[in-house]
Amino acid sequence: MRCPHCGAPDTQVKDSRPTEDDAAIRRRRVCGVCGQRFTTFERVQLRELVVAKRSGRRVPFDRDKLHRSLAVALRKRPVDPERIEQMVSAIVRQLEASGETEVTTETIGRFVMEGLKTVDDVAYVRFASVYKNFREAKDFETLLDELAGDEAASAAASGETR
């Protein structure tokens, strides 16, 4: 691991511990050249995932891109940043658990939609409008009707009344 301060490759680990969600290892490091301390978060990657795009291109899976997409959908919404990280970790685990080395953008989008639906309705609609390529207001109406129907069915199943 290179030092972010001076770029030297000679760094030492001073402390390692798992993160709260056990998805990464937090390491405190010190540079052997400049003496600066810094923290790294390292994740175990079970297998290299490749994303098959609609255009037919294949690109390496990028966890940070997934995180950015969720952050954009959840921008200015009352959702804790830690919750976003938990969603990203859950989606990555789902993708890795599938056993496939190649996943489609549709699969990733479906997992994101499922996660957002349970967290924030507004973010769900924001993401859906891009993911499903909405072209007119009717597309929003259809999605909102589905969302209202799901909520009504969920309330009925749990015995709630409005």
Locate the domains of the chain by residue range.
11-42, 50-156
Give the C-alpha separation, 91 to 110, whole Å. Answer: 10
pTM assigned to the model? 0.59
User: What pLDDT, on a 0 to 100 scale, did the predictor assign at position 14?
Assistant: 93
Check whether 129 has a pLDDT greater than 80: no
Distances (CA, A) of 46 to 49, 94, 98, 118, 149: 9, 12, 12, 27, 38
Highest mean pLDDT among 7-11, 96-100, 127-131, 140-144: 7-11
Give the C-alpha separation, 148 to 41, whole Å. Answer: 40
How wide is the angle at C-alpha 96 spanned by C-alphas 112 and 23, nearest 5°?
Answer: 80
User: Residue 162: which pLDDT band, with cuts at 50, 70 and 90?
Assistant: very low
